Amino acid sequence: MGKVRMVATEFENAGRLVKNRNAARCAEPGRFVLWQMAPEKWYIELAVGGSKVHAGCNGKLVWRHTPWLGSHAAKGPVRPLRRALQGLDPLTAASMFAGARCIGERKVNGEDCFILKLCTDPETLKARTEGLAEIIRHVMFGYFSQRTGLLVHIEDSHLTRIQSTTGGDAVYWETTINSFIEDYRPVDGIMIAHSGRSAVTLFRFGEVAMSHTKTRMEEAWSIEEVAFNVPGLSMDCFIPPTDIKSGSVSETVELPHGGEKSKFGPPPGHRAKVAALEKTDGGDSVERNRSTEDFDFGNSK
């Protein structure tokens, strides 16, 4: 479990660029909690700025719940949560990049790194495509320290084309996420990152020539508590909501719940299990239009 701060730093359209010069004062504080169980089961709650988003995976289905869309299932194969790749789960990061190709070396914040490139295959892109929204490309670059082997930087790019229902020009959405992962500390002998920062750029273009909009957001996060083999955590904690609907939103949207310390419950319909979890761990157990959540191998639209 940990805390985040999110802020939109600039907005640009074809005519003008607006920068948020009061970013420090406008940053929205929030908190998140993540449960994970091997293999491929996870559940997260993120609360920021008065809103709360849930997302989860029971090993067969990825879903998310937002205040504006309700509960929706993600199309395509199961994928890990992007946040788990940000230094929280070395096993997930290692398995994700197992089939990647090494394309070179570069220094990141003074650290010599090797770069692994991972591209989503055409079959998976097609499986994640629905209706008028076609996912054209999804590429990720992982920068791993040559000294420690730990992941220190992720570049994630996701391009979607949405065809007009009237036969006009298509609209393109490109999401780029750059994450820096820091402050690795040992937890039960496993190196876990305890802080990081991300910059997200949403670029919309198409429709009319020379027409585009670009929004840039930043996030800083830190981990307050990490625990393995959590008492009471079971398969029941990863059951999807009963009112889940199919949808074409391929990424989970995270938006946080303002205020001070708040208790996060488990997936809907599991209050009894949550109460047990809260009792064992002492109480606090355990997107901007859109932001990152379930990780189509990584990212948001």
Give residue for tokens 């320290």.
145
| Residue 101 included in any domain | yes
Number of helical (H) and strand (E) elements in the chain, helices listed first: 5, 15
* pLDDT score at 8: 82
| Residue 291 included in any domain | no
Q: How would residue 251 be classed by pLDDT, with cut points 50, 70 and 90?
A: very low
Q: How would residue 287 be classed by pLDDT, with cut points 50, 70 and 90?
A: very low
Above 50 in pLDDT, residue 15?
A: yes
More confident residue, 178 or 249: 178
More confident residue, 228 or 283: 228
Above 80 in pLDDT, residue 262?
A: no
| Residue 92 included in any domain | yes
| Residue 290 included in any domain | no
Residue % of the chain over a pLDDT of 70:
77
CA 4/CA 200 separation, integer angstroms: 14
| Residue 66 included in any domain | yes
| Residue 292 included in any domain | no
Count of the separate structural domains present in the chain: 1
CA 3/CA 48 separation, integer angstroms: 9
* pLDDT score at 273: 29
Above 80 in pLDDT, residue 264?
A: no
Lowest-pLDDT range, 13-22, 242-251, 264-273, 279-288? 279-288
Tally the residues of the chain: 301
Helices marked H in 105-227? 122-128
Alpha carbon separation from 189 to 37, 185, 225 (Å, rounded): 18, 9, 15
SS3 193: strand
| Residue 295 included in any domain | no
Q: How would residue 265 be classed by pLDDT, with cut points 50, 70 and 90?
A: very low
**Contact at 8 Å (CB) between 55 and 293?**
yes
| Residue 99 included in any domain | yes
For the chain, give the mean pLDDT.
78
Above 80 in pLDDT, residue 159?
A: yes
* pLDDT score at 254: 29
Above 50 in pLDDT, residue 21?
A: yes
Alpha carbon separation from 198 to 62, 121, 267 (Å, rounded): 23, 25, 26
More confident residue, 111 or 16: 111
**Contact at 8 Å (CB) between 51 and 43?**
no
Q: Domain limits at 209?
A: 2-281
Answer yes or no: pTM beyond 0.85.
no
CATH code at position 59: 2.50.20
Encode pLDDT of 78-137 as tens digits. Answer: 888 887 777 788 888 888 899 899 999 999 999 999 999 999 999 988 888 878 888 999
More confident residue, 81 or 199: 199
Most confident stretch, 72-86, 231-245, 271-285: 231-245
